[in-house]
Amino acid sequence: MGVAAMAQAQTIRYDATTRVFRIDTDAMSYAFGVNESDQLQTLYWGARLATSDALPAAHTNEGNVSFDPPASTSLQEYAGWGGSMYVEPDLKLRYADGNRDLVLHYVSHQIKGDTLDVHLRDIRQPLDVTLHYVVDPATGIIGRSALIENHTKQALTIDSVAAASWNLPAAEDYSLRYLTGRWAGEWQLQTRAITPGNTVLESRRGSTGHENNPWFAIERGGDWAEDHGDVWFGALAWSGSWRITVEQGVLHQVRVTGGFNPFDFAWPLAPGESVSTPVFYAGYTSGGIGEASRLLHRFELAQIVPQHPKPRLRPVLYNSWEATNFAVDQAGQEHLAELAASIGVERFVMDDGWFGARNDDHAGLGDWVVNPKKFPHGLKPLIDKVHALKMDFGLWVEPEMVNPDSDLYRAHPDWVLNFPGRPRSEGRNQLVLNLARQDVRDHVFKVLDDLLSHNDIAFLKWDYNRNWSEPGWPQVAPDQQQKVYVDYVRNLYGILAELRKRHPNVEIESCSGGGGRVDLGILGHTDEVWPSDNTDPFDRLSIQDGFSYAYAPAVMMAWVTDSPNWVNDRSTSLDYRFLSSMQGSLGIGANLLHWSPQDFAAAKKYVAEYKAIRTSVQQGKLYRLLSPRDNSPHAATESVSRDGAQAVLFAFLHASQMKYPYPRVRLQGLDPDARYRWRSLHGAPVAGTLVEASGAYWMNHGIDLALKGDYQAAAIVFDRVGGKR
């Protein structure tokens, strides 16, 4: 049996003689062992080792001097804060007697298929920790989480708890990539050398946040090539306050620890109670940062995003927000639906303004009842009209929020996050409902369940337009109130899961003022995300580029909106706007009432062309060929279908300079021995370009594009034709 076959047959193994655990997939090996102190110690994480390679037993690092004790210099797989522990711990707690020392020792384990549970216990108290590992053999990505159980006779308090720590071998040439941003400027890729000390990525906002995203990548050598190089990468599946710490210790070992944010965190654990962490996923590749992204994309679509029972292609969507804002009514929405259907749209979404006293953003949130003045006969006539136009119907909701000027708030002012007697800070004229409360959770579920049960709704655009403030929960005991950070998110996940169970054909988009809540946790309960409120097609190139490092194009909604764009007042052609948006899941948000007949004709053409390439774009392999970062005048991406039968090249020129030609573009991911013929969706190669050539030709020689001017774009499709070169 070959190495790959053995890895597939036996992903996880344990050597009882050396007490070494080993995880093998086709291209990756991960190993840890039980050392002589009965602590778990990481041994290896990197390229695939031969099955016959026997890793030596784990041994603690004895340290050079008393200032570098073994507890801090040995690569512990999951460390309690105790003994001479100075690095970032995974678990820190306080026992009832004031003791804060925690030293975890191995007790037992179970292997079942592609999962492993390792049981640890404190050396003095019956405080148990179960480490859970789940392996995806197809990508080599490992998910890790921890379960903390209090079997003592008294309550204890957890001060901080991580899902996992990932240890890399000692080296001095590591660099870190991570994603930062703000509203309308999300997904900005940052790169910095890893040096001694800590780099902290976090959100203290109650949700994932725009400022940082819970994703990281670490490369060795500083090259950051798209197609080669050792890269370790990971993402935390949590939609609340989170923290990831990248630490280089005194011996240049790198440790990445992630989980709940310990800021303002305390979790009391009574005897017999337990708490589980989110899952921290991570992987390795020797194929560069491009391959790291493709592995994550494949993993997300196969293992994270809900299945039906297989991934659905995202329909072409129209959203009415930019056309009408809050001024929605039946006649106006029906007219927009007719216009949207005429260009081939498959899903019509009515945005804000349809409910309660919602004429602007000052009132109505929380009152999820159809406004009788705008829709005197309810939503059914509009939904029937949309269905008659061969589209399904979607609706905007923001169920976690409430306006003080609403019937819900007047009836239940205690339902929001608050500290009694203190001011309640509003954001966008709204407050945050405390979903950690069971009565609030049940109410939110009921109003959404009723809405979906009484209307044929196929899609919810689930928005979340502010961060937390005054995160109080005065209805519970003071020592329980900081549970709000976790219980809120768990109840949010519960609502989404129950809605999906009761309404399995309803799809959901996660939106939070754009990309403020995008992570593997929310993606486990939703079908797509809104990466940014910024729909400027030029800005979107860098936003979408950054997004692609962590998340798949299939879940990335991208809209064609009006020109000049409302964000920057920048004017661009409809061609440029469509091609920018066709790199993800295509939507249209422009005011169709202002379009010319020529606009409608062009849009109809692009929508039809997008449907023909949609499988390659959404479910294929993404290659970043030319980066738009650092004010580059060029950008190019390529999407290759899983079977290699089609490739779609999108190329953009932001500003011609000094008569320089557009850089030659070399494709990737083609079958070198197959033949491919190109056809143009928009733009063209230079005169004399071969119409048909081998995959090897397009990848090695490349293609020259006839792009000149400002804000120009081209899209070329390469289809495999019969025969070999």
State yes or no: 166 annotated in a binding site.
no
pLDDT value for 723: 55
Which are the contacts of 709, defined by CB distance < 8 A and separation ≥ 6?
A: 653, 656
Closest CA to 565 of 530, 582, 595, 589: 589
Q: Does residue 542 register a pLDDT over 70?
A: yes
What's the token pair of residue 571?
């004017």
Q: Judge whether 468 is annotated as a binding position.
A: no
The whole-number pLDDT of residue 34 equals: 98
DSSP secondary structure of 26-77: SSEEEEEEE-TTS-EEEEEEEEPPPTT--PPPP-----SSTTS-HHHHS-BS
Helix (H, G, I), strand (E, B) or coil at 332: helix
**Does 465 show up as a binding residue in the annotation?**
yes
The predicted-structure confidence for 325-371, as pLDDT tens digits, reads as follows 999 999 999 999 999 999 999 999 999 999 999 999 999 999 999 99
Asked if pLDDT for residue 9 goes beyond 80, the answer is no
Q: DSSP 3-state assignment of 185?
A: coil
CA 65 to chain centre: 43
Q: Calculate the CA 225 to chain-centre distance.
A: 22
Q: What are the DSSP E strand ranges found in 537-673?
A: 557-560, 585-588, 621-626, 634-640, 646-655
Q: Are 307 and 336 in contact (CB under 8 A)?
A: no
463 is in an annotated binding site: yes
Taking only the tens place, the pLDDT of each residue in 433-474 is 999 999 999 999 999 999 999 999 999 999 999 999 999 999
Structure tokens belonging to residue 396: 């905007």
44-85 pLDDT per residue, tens: 999 999 999 999 998 987 767 778 777 777 799 999 999 888
Residue 26 assigned to a binding site: no
What pLDDT digit, counting tens, does each position of 422-433 carry?
A: 999 999 999 999
Q: How far apart are CA 344 and CA 326, in angstroms?
A: 25
Burial class, 59, CB count within 10 angstroms (exposed 0-12 / middle 13-18 / buried 19+)? middle
Mean pLDDT for all residues in the chain: 96
- The full set of domains in the chain, from first to last, is 3-304 (2.70.98.60), 319-334+348-574 (3.20.20.70), 625-724 (2.60.40.1180)
Task: Tell which residue, 227, 228, 226, 234, has the closest CA to residue 178.
Answer: 234
| Preceding omega of 69 cis (within 30 degrees of 0) | no
Nearest CA to 585 out of 309, 346, 283 is that of 346
CB 337 within 8 A of CB 387: no
- Cα-based distances in Å from 308 to 460, 503, 543: 16, 12, 29
Backbone φ and ψ of 44, nearest 5°: -165, 145
Choice among 24, 367, 392, 463 that is catalytic: 463
Q: Is the separation of the CB atoms in 509 and 515 below 8 Å?
A: no
Q: How confident is the model at residue 137 (pLDDT cuts 50, 70, 90)?
A: very high
Active site residue 533: yes
**Residue 428 annotated in ligand binding:** yes
Q: Is the pLDDT of residue 630 over 90?
A: no
Q: What letter would DSSP give residue 479? A: G
CA–CA dist 295, 289 (Å, integer): 10
Whether 1 has a pLDDT exceeding 50, the answer reads: no
Q: For residue 33, how many C-alpha atoms fall within 13 Å in the half-sphere facing its CB?
A: 19
Number of H helices, E strands in the chain: 14, 36
**pLDDT of res. 74:** 78
Banded pLDDT at 407 (limits 50, 70, 90):
very high
In the numeric block, which tokens belong to residue 424?
């309640």
Q: For CA atoms 318, 322, 328, 334, give the dihedral sign.
A: negative
pLDDT at 5: 41
Residue 360 CB coordination number (10 Å): 13
For the record, the structure tokens of 486 come out as: 């976790």
Q: Are 228 and 185 in contact (CB under 8 A)?
A: no
Q: What is the mean pLDDT of residues 242-250?
A: 95
> Average pLDDT, stretch 296-314?
90
| pLDDT exceeds 90 at position 311 | no
Mean pLDDT of 247-270: 96
What residues contact residue 302 under an 8 Å CB cut-off, 6+ apart?
A: 136, 138, 139, 311
Residues 514 and 210 sit within 8 Å (Cβ to Cβ)? yes
Q: Which of 67-71, 153-157, 606-610, 691-695 has the lowest mean pLDDT?
A: 67-71
End-to-end CA distance of the chain: 33
Mean pLDDT of 671-686: 98
DSSP string, 13-27: EEETTTTEEEEE-SS
State the catalytic residue, choosing from 122, 519, 533, 671. 533
433 near 440, Cβ under 8 Å? yes
Q: Is 575 annotated as a binding residue?
A: no
pLDDT of residue 309: 63
Average pLDDT over residues 243-267: 96
Is 461 labelled as part of a ligand binding site?
yes
Return the DSSP state at 665: B
Question: Is residue 7 predicted with pLDDT exceeding 50?
Answer: no
Binding residue per annotation — 352? yes
Residue 118 structure tokens:
């390792």
Q: Return the pLDDT at 63.
A: 64
CA angle in degrees (0–180, nearest 5) for 244-249-250 = 165
Helix axes 438-454, 484-502, angle to 10 degrees: 20
- Distance, in Å, from the CA atom of 98 to the CA atom of 121, rounded to the nearest integer, reads 19
Is 464 annotated among the ligand-binding residues?
yes
Sheet holding 392-397, edge to edge: 528-529, 507-510, 459-462, 392-397, 347-350, 317-319, 585-588, 557-560
463 a catalytic residue: yes
Please state, in angstroms and rounded to a whole number, the distance separating the CA atoms of residues 407 and 72.
56
